[in-house]
Amino acid sequence: MIQVPIVWPVAAPIVWAAWVFGVIAVILALRVWLDLPSNRVAGLRSSALWTAVCLGCVWLRRYDPTPVSWLRGSLPLGWGAILVLGLAAWAGWASMRRVGKNSRLQIVFGRFLVHISLILGSIVFAIPFAWLLVTSFKEDVDMASPHGIVWIPKVTKTVPYVSPENPLYRAVYQGQSVEANRAFVMPDGRWQMAVERPLGLAGFTFEVRKNEVVQIPRNAPLVTTTVQGRRAQGKVVQERENGARVVELDTPPELAGKRLELPPNELRPVREFGLRWQNYPEALDYLPPEANRGLTYLRNSTLLVVLNVLGTLLSCSLVAYAFARLRFPGRNALFAILLATMMLPGAVTLLPQFLIFRELGWVDTLYPLWVPALFAGAFNVFLLRQFFRQIPLELEDAAKIDGCDYLKAFWKVMLPQVRPALAVIAVWTFIGAWNNFMGPLIYINSPEHLPIAYALQLFNGERSGEPGLLMAFASLSMLPVVLVFVFAQRYFIEGVTLSGMGGR
Amino acid sequence: MRPGQRAFGHLALCLLAGVLAPLSRSQATVSVWGVRPGPDAKGTEALVREFERRNPDLRVRTMSMGAGEMSPQKLMTSIVGRVPPDVIFQDRFTLSDWASRGAFLPLDRFLAQETGPDAVKPADYYPAAWSEAVYDGKVYGIPYGADDRILYYNRRIFRAKAEQLRSAGLDPERAPRSWSELLRYSKVLTEFGPNGELKVAGFIPNWGNSWLYLYAFQMEADFMSPDGRTCTLDSPRAERALQFMVDGYKILGGYNAAQKFQSGFQGQENDAFYIGKVAMKIDGDWVLNPMGRYAPNLDFGVAPPPSPDERLAGKGIFAGMSPYATWIGGFSYAIPKGAKNPGGAWRFIRFATSLEGREIENRAQRDFERLRGREFVPRNQAHIQANEELVREFTPANPHLAAAQKMHVEMARYGRIRPATVVAQVLWDEHVKAIEKACRGEATPKEALLAGQAVVQRELDQHFRYYSRPKTDFRGPVAISVAIFLLGLGAFWIHLRRQPLGRLGRHEALWGYLLVSPWLIGFLVFLLGPMIASLAFSFTQYNVLNEPRWMGFENYQALATTERENVLKAFGNVFYLAGIGVPLGILSGLTIALLLNREIFGVRAYRTLFYLPSIVPAVATAVLWGWILVSDPSKGLVNALWSKTLEPWLGAALPGWLSVADWAKPSIVLMGLWGAGGGMILWLAGLKGVPRSLYEAADLDGASPWRSFWSVTLPWISPLVFFNVVTGLIGAIQEFDRVYVLKGSGGTIGPSDSLLTPVAHLFVNGFSYFKMGFASALAWLVFAVVLVLTGIQFWVSKTWVHYEADR
């Protein structure tokens, strides 16, 4: 075991920037000596530029004069690790020697390196997703662990147990099948029941006749404990009000059937690998009744997506067609205005638009979230116009000779030609509409009009202490976008290529 | 038309018809916000059901919508948008703020009609609670709860540390009584880990519920002058109270250390107080029920909140005063202006605040808790008789809980309320900021309070000056612009007539105008009109509920003077985010693209994986990363890794990420890097565009791959690099979704406003404070900055960046 000393500077971001720019300047200055004489002026100029930027950062430092400090520590390396590292270094050196002499090997080796880096990179990018999924299947006890993150979820083993002292019934409450306890027997012989599941109705009481309910088994958690110095396993059949659990032992055989009352800290649940699927239905159970177990949110988001996509496609293609193919006075001026509007930040029109929609009485409806799509967004028009312009004029002329008017020519001849661009726009609009957050935040007030993205933010506020439920809901909220992406990947990639715009 | 197309058309039509069908609104609905019968709130459910049973003509719709979390934005947009709820369950101290803007209905009309033995009468309520709901002589809410704050202490810790306490001259059998005693107890009870991190906090001044208000009330400080026109947040007494908080944090190793410690706290059974991570706290009566539920065996004691030493001694200004004081608050039922069904709303409020209604609610809740084997403690009621009867009926069996309940009822007599003021929300937000600034050591208590006072005073002055400002008549300017527009249209028409267009040409032009009309109308209605309106608003004081009044350039002046600090902070944050995030994003995106820009096995799979994070909804990303970046290494993914590597190797302390001002922005950068795959696709496209022949030529010249990257690839894609830098910056200026989701529940956007962005600042001003005028001015500033950046892009890209056309 040896300790490899390491140091790391702790500095304000501006200091880091100064260092980076300084290094760039020095490298450029050094290169000047190696470069051709004709390039020296340009090299010196760029070196001077970066030096100036570096000095600018030094000057900016006065606003954050935190002194640079050094973290000192050491990396403990076991002999095994040293051996592995040494072997790797030797293998690398040896193979490089061989590879250097053989150009075919060079290519193979290069590919190998590329794959290694790509695999490592994708692991890093996939970890948050993996964490999201794993967390959405965890039990609460696994959310925090002093031994590091729990990556393999476990579930508590249960056995069905028809409990005579604490029976559970399946009953119908307001047309919904529920699991309920019997709270007490009423004087007229009817039973008062208290709902246990689904969680959204938990605690609601209602009355039934005895023949209207069916007893069903409970899921009794299995636990292990120590009885008379021996390890014993059993199931929890009852929870007392003081927190104690009544355990019915199963093993060892001679104690089977014996009942013990034990405090919870003497019991260890039997847990095995498994996914807690219940997080998903439970997350939906916690939603308000108007949400209809999330279906309302799904409907709203879907409606918005469909209307936005249809509206955008229709309006943008018509407008783009006109700008591309029809000659009318003022066309170029109007198109210049259209291009200029792309620079306008949404923030400028945010407040007056709110007032407009208020005057229309559209606050707390879905209209403000899709009606603007009918009025052709500048960027999509620009993109489509480029496409329309590439279509040979002859095609349209032929259609006109056949007696088509403009609309017909547009619909029959032109539109099919720009299908790839339309697909791209459709996909982008889909993502944009599904992910829209600020719009609903401003316009939507009632639970029956919430789209999923905003519902997730509200759920986040209400269930902030329960990552299992939260991650379950989050993964549900991103599922449609991920599916669309996986199936329409081509259009995404093409879309960026076509439009030259990166990401959102 | 093919059948498929027709079916599709029908579908689209049906969808359109379904959406356009007017939503039928039943008049007999009473919508109530702020209360919600969740899985654990059966009392509210019972109350609502019983109300509906007795009033068959009414149906109640309940919703929580974040009210009570000090998130006024939803209520405000609903009132302004003319779709308010009928009843709102609202934190009482904000009533005056809302009432002053005419957002709530005065209830005097209903109160005047009250007769009979069960009439709603002020005399039935604790005077402090009732007066908190009165503004300008009118009643705006019927008080529901009356929560006060007392000291809770964990007896187990006191006993475990009995020796140390005794040797410090402190009695382990009782709670501290004075501030100085509290700090001495805290010092003894606080424990640090091997790396200097907190393990047990004796007392965290602002954990639980005390804020500055409690300590200031104990110092008999008032935050407003009696006439309500002057803010006295900076009074020496408030300063002394804030100094006490600063001292309290010093014992814990500073505010940041405490924040980091707190960010690892959990809820429910693992509450930091139950598990002994915090020895003493000041909190309200709402903690009793969770305690009965999650920590029935906790051995805790209660005491009045420790008083300033001079108060306890009855010296100076405190002569003749009670030795103790506390802060009393609570919620009220109110009716927003424009409620569709005020009559039904009043019937609901009457029932919910009546003795009978309160009993129904509490009994139902108790029955529910009993069913679950838990103890139930009713909340302190503002209704005196109800409070007494409920305490009598619901004394908990657990002696600790019973003692706490008794203490809460007793202390209610010493309660003081927050001042009724038109700037209640701003005062609250600013006092939170002052606490943070002073406790972090960014300013002395005096400076911090003075800064807050200045902001509140300015708001106050603005409010009172509103009425003396000239009314703005927009009819003239609107008429003029419409006239100019029509004239232009006419001129254009004449111009058109003179064009040598044939019959066909005219036909084509007509079609052209027809087809571009969707965009043209959208441009006029949704862009040009709003732009002009926003420009006009930026010269006015306008809260939407009242008419705009002219104030000239004051909003723009404010940007440069009074709001300067916030504006600089917002843009500073953005330049930080972009300055670090954009280069790192470009670097990682380009690296991935370079690796993927070749024919290798599995390229599609890699591309999908790298790209996927960038299309995940921003809200989901924020929620996910909010958890990944939790600073407690037993929960947060990043810190779990950190605690296994960097901490032992380098001794680098675990970062607090989103809970600490210094780390909040790096957190956002990290989140952004996860989405770097979005840029990757763009780089891939750019790299595909580099002609192969150039590489071949470089190869012939014997250039190394590194050299050909520098000399061929980079110059070729340099326009893209520059484009990305500028769009990244513009995107960062408009950053909103993520910071809004991650902002936390306080009045700031991130700790110490460390995540404040221009658009977030605009949103808060526009939709929380409804300072539409100022928000519009800010929007134009954002526009100007974006314009300048775009201009720079055009200019630089002409002179510096390599374009293909130049060759």
List, as own/partner pairs, every contact residues A279-284 make where C-beta atoms lie below 8 angstroms and the sequence separation is at least 24, other chains included.
A279/A136, A279/A137, A279/A138, A279/A468, A279/A469, A279/A471, A279/A472, A280/A136, A280/A472, A280/A476, A281/A198, A282/A199, A282/A469, A282/A472, A283/A459, A283/A463, A283/A469, A283/A470, A283/A472, A283/A473, A283/A476, A284/A473
Predicted confidence (pLDDT) per residue in A94-107, tens digit: 888 887 777 788 88
Contact A128 B23 (CB under 8 A): no
Q: Mean pLDDT across chain A, nearest whole number? A: 86
Phi/psi at B499 (nearest 5 deg)? -65, 140
B655-702 pLDDT, tens per residue? 888 888 888 999 999 999 998 888 888 888 888 878 888 888 888 888
Which residues fall within 8 angstroms of residue A160, CB to CB, at 6 or more apart?
Answer: A217, A218, A219, A220
Chain B residue numbers touching A323 (CB-CB < 8 A): 516
CB spacing of B634 vs A144 below 8 angstroms: yes
Residues forming a β-bridge with B152:
B281, B302
pLDDT for position B806: 39
Task: Please state the φ and ψ torsions of residue B221, each to the nearest 5 degrees.
Answer: -85, 145
pLDDT tens digit sequence for A301-356: 999 999 999 999 999 999 999 999 888 888 888 999 998 888 888 888 888 999 89
Q: What is the mean pLDDT of residues B430-439?
A: 90
Confidence category of residue A87, pLDDT binned at 50, 70, 90: very high
Classified as helix, coil or strand, A227 is strand
Residue B6 is assigned to a structural domain of this protein: no
Of A129, A349, A435, the CB nearest to B530: A349
> B681 contacts in A (CB within 8 Å)?
492-493, 496-497, 502-503
Contact A248, A162 (CB under 8 A): no
**Does the distance separating the beta carbons of A347 and B783 come in below 8 Å?**
yes
Q: Which domain does B481 fall in, by range?
A: 475-550
Testing the interface with B: which of A125, A393, A490 to mutate, by most B Cβ within 10 A?
A125
Measured in angstroms, the CA of A422 and the nearest CA of chain B are apart by: 16
In a domain, B15, yes or no: no
CB contact under 8 A, B734 and A347: yes
**Chain A residues in contact with B758 (beta carbon < 8 A):** 347
3-class DSSP assignment, residue B67: coil
Query: How far apart (Å, rounded) are the C-alpha atoms in residues A443 and A291?
Result: 18
What is d(CA A132, CA B613) in angstroms, rounded to the nearest whole number?
A: 12
**Residues of B with CB below 8 A from A181's CB?**
371
Q: Which residues of B touch A202 (CB under 8 A)?
A: 39
Within a domain: B11: no
User: Ranked by mean pLDDT, which of A262-266, A360-364, B470-474, B697-701 comes out on top?
Assistant: A360-364
> CA B610, B611, B617 angle in degrees (round to 5)?
125
Mark whether B297 and B375 lie in a shared domain.
Answer: no
Min Cα separation B565/chain A (Å):
14
Whether A428 contacts A501, CB under 8 Å: no
Q: Give residues with Cβ within 8 angstroms of B290, minimum separation 6.
A: B268, B271
Average pLDDT over residues B1-28: 45
Q: Nearest 5 degrees, angle CA A291-CA A293-CA A299?
A: 60
> Are B403 and B444 within one domain?
no
Q: Identify whether B339 is part of a domain.
A: yes
Per-residue buried b or exposed e for B617-652, using 16+ beta carbons within 10 Å of the residue's own CB:
bbbbbbbbbbbbbbbbbbbbbbbbebbeebbebbeb
Q: What's the CATH number where B99 sits?
A: 3.40.190.10
Nearest to A458 by CA among B739, B75, B741: B741
B512/A381 touch (CB, cutoff 8 Å), yes or no: no
Percent of chain B whose predicted confidence (pLDDT) is above 90: 32
**Do B650 and A8 lie within an 8 Å CB cutoff?**
yes
CA distance B616 to chain A (A): 6
Considering only residues B423 and B454, tell me which one the structure prediction assigns the higher pLDDT.
B454
Instruction: State the Cα–Cα distance between residues B762 and B336, nearest whole angstrom.
Output: 25
Binary contact (B606, A346; C-beta < 8 A)? no
Last residue of a domain, one of B518, B533, B550: B550
The pLDDT value given to residue A501: 44
| Among the partner residues B73, B372, B511, nearest to A326 by beta-carbon distance | B511
Domain boundary among B397, B416, B435: B416
- Mean of the pLDDT values across residues B738-756? 80
Report chain B's mean pLDDT, rounded to a whole number: 85
The percent of residues above 70 in pLDDT, for chain A, comes to 97
Chain A residues in contact with B635 (beta carbon < 8 A): 143-144, 467
Residue pairs between chains A and B whose CB atoms are closer than 8 Å:
385
Q: Which of A442-451, B202-211, B744-753 has the lowest mean pLDDT?
A: B744-753
Indicate whether B752 and B661 sit together in one domain: yes
Are B447 and B411 in a shared domain? no
Residues B195, B314, single domain; the answer is yes
Q: How far apart are CA B350 and CA B660, in angstroms?
A: 45
Amino acid, single-letter form, for residue B250? K
DSSP per-residue codes, B653-717: PPP-GGGSHHHHHHHHHHHHHHTTHHHHHHHHHHHHTS-HHHHHHHHHTT--HHHHIIIIIHHHH
Give the chain A residue nearest B365 (alpha carbons): A203
- On the question of pLDDT at B14 being above 50, the answer is no
Tell if the CB–CB gap between A502 and B681 is shorter than 8 Å. Answer: yes
Number of domains observed in the structure of chain B: 4
Q: What is the DSSP letter of B89?
A: E
Q: In chain B, which residues have their Cβ closer than 8 Å to the Cβ of A453?
A: 617-620
CB contact under 8 A, A121 and B592: yes
Instruction: Measure Cα distances from A306 to A251, A309, B410 in Å.
Output: 59, 5, 60
Assess whether B249 and B180 both reside in one domain: yes
Same domain for B62 and B94, yes or no, is yes
Alpha-carbon distance values, A493 to A201, A424, B353 (Å)? 46, 9, 60
- Report how far apart, in Å, the C-alpha atoms of B601 and of each of B597, B791, B804 are: 12, 43, 32
| Look-up of token digits 């934190």 | B91
Boundary residue ending a domain (B550, B580, B612):
B550
Is residue B251 domain-shared with residue B110, that is, in the same domain?
no
B543 and B599 fall within a common domain: no
Q: Is residue B8 part of a domain?
A: no
Q: Give the minimum alpha-carbon distance from B257 to chain A in angstroms, rounded to a whole number.
A: 18
B432 pLDDT above the threshold of 50: yes
* pLDDT of amino acid B215: 94
Q: Are residues B129 and B152 in the same domain?
A: no
Predicted pLDDT of residue A84 = 94
Name the residue among A57, A477, A503 with its Cα closest to residue B677: A503
| Cα distance between residue B494 and residue B69, in whole Å | 60
In terms of domains, do B255 and B309 share one? yes
Q: Which two tokens stand for residue B325?
A: 């004081």
CB B425 within 8 A of CB B768: yes
Q: Would you call A500 and B623 a contact, using CB atoms and an 8 Å cutoff?
A: no
B26: amino acid identity, one letter: S
In chain B, what residues touch A470 (CB-CB under 8 Å)?
623, 627
Q: Is the pLDDT of residue B802 over 60?
A: no
Same-domain pairing of B502 and B633: no
For A289-499, the fitting CATH number among 1.10.3720.10, 3.40.50.10540, 1.20.1200.10, 3.30.420.40 is: 1.10.3720.10
Q: Please, which pLDDT band fits residue A357 given cuts at 50, 70 and 90?
A: very high
Collapse the DSSP code of A216 into the 3-class scheme (helix H, G, I; strand E, B; otherwise coil) and give the result: strand
- What residues does each domain of chain A span? 2-121, 155-273, 289-499
**More confidently predicted of B364 and A370:** A370
CB B58 within 8 A of CB B342: no
Note whether residue B10 is domain-resident.
no
pLDDT of residue B236 exceeding 90, the answer is yes
Give how far B278 is from chain A: nearest CA, Å. Answer: 19
Distance of alpha carbon B756 from alpha carbon B753, whole angstroms: 5
**Quick check: helix, strand or coil at residue A249?**
strand
Give ipTM to 2 decimals.
Answer: 0.88
Nearest to A148 among B510, B627, B640 (CB): B640
* Pairwise pLDDT comparison (A266 vs A59), residue with the higher score: A59
Burial (CB count within 10 angstroms: exposed 0-12, middle 13-18, buried 19+), residue B305: buried
Comparing CA positions, the residue from A483, A426, A432, A435 lying closest to residue A455 is A435
**Count of residues making up chain B:** 807
CB B41 within 8 A of CB B365: yes
Q: Between these two residues, A239 and A114, which has the higher pLDDT value?
A: A114
Minimal C-alpha gap between B598 and chain A (Å): 10
Quick check: A241 and B373 CB within 8 A?
yes
Q: Are the beta carbons of A500 and B511 separated by less than 8 Å? A: no
Instruction: Output the 3-class SS for A281-311.
Output: HHHHHCCCHHHCCCHHHHHHHHHHHHHHHHH
In a domain, B2, yes or no: no
Nearest chain A residue to B629 by CA: give it.
A128
**Which residues from chain B sit within 8 angstroms of residue A356, using beta carbons?**
525-526, 529-530
Beta carbons of B332 and B133 less than 8 angstroms apart: yes
* Residue B605 to chain A, least CA–CA distance (Å): 10
Between chains, do B617 and A456 touch, taking CB under 8 Å as contact?
Answer: yes
Angle, helix A103-136 to helix B603-611, in steps of 10 degrees: 40
**Is B59 domain-assigned?**
yes
The dihedral through the CA atoms of B711, B717, B721, B722 has a sign that is positive
Q: With an 8 Å Cβ cutoff, are A322 and B515 in contact?
A: yes
CA–CA gap between residue B430 and residue B212 (Å, rounded): 11
* pLDDT grade for B35, boundaries at 50, 70 and 90: confident
Read off the pTM.
0.83
Which residue is it, tokens 């002194």? A67
